[in-house]
């Protein structure tokens, strides 16, 4: 998008920063993917692997942080460069949190293993996770090519996540009503869903950051908070059913 800097090593540093963000994004998505897989397949080994792999994201976040601060100190970036670097710091924080969400999901594998239910219980979660991950990947792609159109497109899909979360919430609530023995598994699955919903939020945050990096302004705060589950209650859910 931009011509080169007069100081070419500055370009190299900025490029490395965004490459590291891209790698971190891929890795964070991978962790979430595998944590869902561990739950679906009841794979304890994979879950442990995921939990221990999260450390790489922490390291990557810290590395990006240090590099960004160094660049600021050394180059005193202005305008788009400054936004780029601040963007990188923020995105890395979001991605690290996404990793934490994945880790949290993986941690629940062990408990869920004891109260294993039929596959139908998990399908909703799997689809929901797939949607959130698609959202995250699209944001990361948009960031990689600095495309404002794609970012705006991604933000259009925010509603889908919200509505899917609401319906998943309702499903799990229904399972619990049907049989109190489902409460343990469903509560854990609810937390997983909440985590995945958080991943969607982080993806939205990243989208906003990318919008700022590209334009220098934040997107208008047109949408109220998305999570509609606070309105759901047992009676109403039954009525909806």
Partner 1 sequence: MSSELKIKMCGLDVKVSYGKKRALHGITLNILENKVTALIGPSGCGKSTFLRCLNRMNDTIEGALVTGKILLDEEDIYDSSVDVVELRARVGMVFQKPNPFPKSVYENVAYGPRIHGLAKSRVALNEIVEQSLVKAGLFSEVKDRLHDVGTSLSGGQQQRLCIARAIAVSPEVILMDEPCSALDPIATAKIEELIDDLRRNYTIAIVTHSMQQAARVSQFTAMFHLGNLVEVGTTDTIFTSPQERRTQDYITGRFG
State the residues that interact with partner 1 by CB under 8 A. 2-7, 10, 75-83, 215-217
Cβ closest to partner 1, residue 7 vs residue 70: 7
Cβ 96 vs Cβ 202: under 8 Å: no
* Smallest distance from partner 1 to CB 215, Å: 7
Least CB distance from residue 65 to partner 1, whole Å? 21
Q: Where are the alpha helices (DSSP H) in the chain?
A: 8-41, 44-75, 79-107, 109-114, 120-144, 148-156, 158-178, 183-215, 234-240
C-alpha distances out from residue 159 to 10, 152, 209, 232, Å: 39, 13, 19, 17
In the bound state with partner 1, the residue whose beta carbon lies nearer, of 2 and 181, is 2
CB of 204 to partner 1, least distance (A): 21
| Assigned token pair, 90 | 């923020």
Residue 168 beta carbon to partner 1: minimum distance, rounded to whole angstroms: 39
> Whose Cβ is closer to partner 1: residue 95's or residue 213's?
213
Dihedral (CA of 123, 128, 129, 134) sign: positive
Nearer to partner 1, 153 or 218 (CB): 218
- What count of other Cβ atoms lies within 10 Å of the Cβ of residue 137? 15
Rounded distance, CA 206 to CA 137, Å? 11
**Cα-flanking dihedrals φ and ψ of residue 16, to 5°?**
-65, -40
In the numeric block, which tokens belong to residue 136?
């995250």
Q: Is the CB of 10 or the CB of 121 nearer to partner 1? A: 10
Cβ at position 4, least distance to partner 1 in Å: 7
Closest approach of Cβ 87 to partner 1, in Å?
12
Is 59 or 216 the residue whose CB approaches partner 1 more closely?
A: 216
């Amino acid at each position: 998008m931009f011509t080169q800097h007069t100081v070419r090593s500055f370009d190299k540093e900025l490029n490395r920063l965004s490459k590291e963000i891209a790698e971190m994004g891929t890795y964070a998505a991978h962790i979430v993917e595998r944590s869902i897989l561990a739950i679906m397949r009841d794979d304890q080994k994979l879950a442990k692997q995921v939990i221990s792999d999260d450390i790489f994201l922490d390291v990557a976040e810290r590395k990006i942080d240090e590099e960004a601060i160094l660049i600021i100190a050394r180059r005193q970036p202005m305008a788009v460069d400054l936004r780029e670097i601040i963007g990188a710091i923020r995105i890395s924080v979001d991605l690290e949190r996404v990793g934490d969400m994945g880790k949290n999901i993986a941690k629940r594998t062990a408990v869920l293993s004891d109260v294993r239910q039929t596959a139908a219980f998990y399908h909703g979660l799997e689809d929901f996770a797939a949607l959130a991950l698609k959202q995250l990947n699209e944001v990361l792609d948009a960031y990689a090519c600095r495309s404002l159109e794609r970012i705006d497109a991604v933000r259009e899909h925010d509603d889908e996540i919200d509505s899917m979360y609401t319906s998943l919430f309702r499903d799990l609530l229904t399972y619990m009503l049907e049989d109190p023995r489902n409460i343990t598994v469903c509560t854990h699955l609810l937390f997983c869903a909440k985590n995945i919903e958080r991943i969607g939020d982080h993806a939205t945050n990243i989208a906003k950051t990318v919008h700022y990096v590209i334009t220098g302004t934040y997107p208008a705060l047109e949408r109220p908070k998305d999570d509609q589950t606070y309105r759901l209650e047992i009676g109403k859910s039954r009525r909806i059913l």
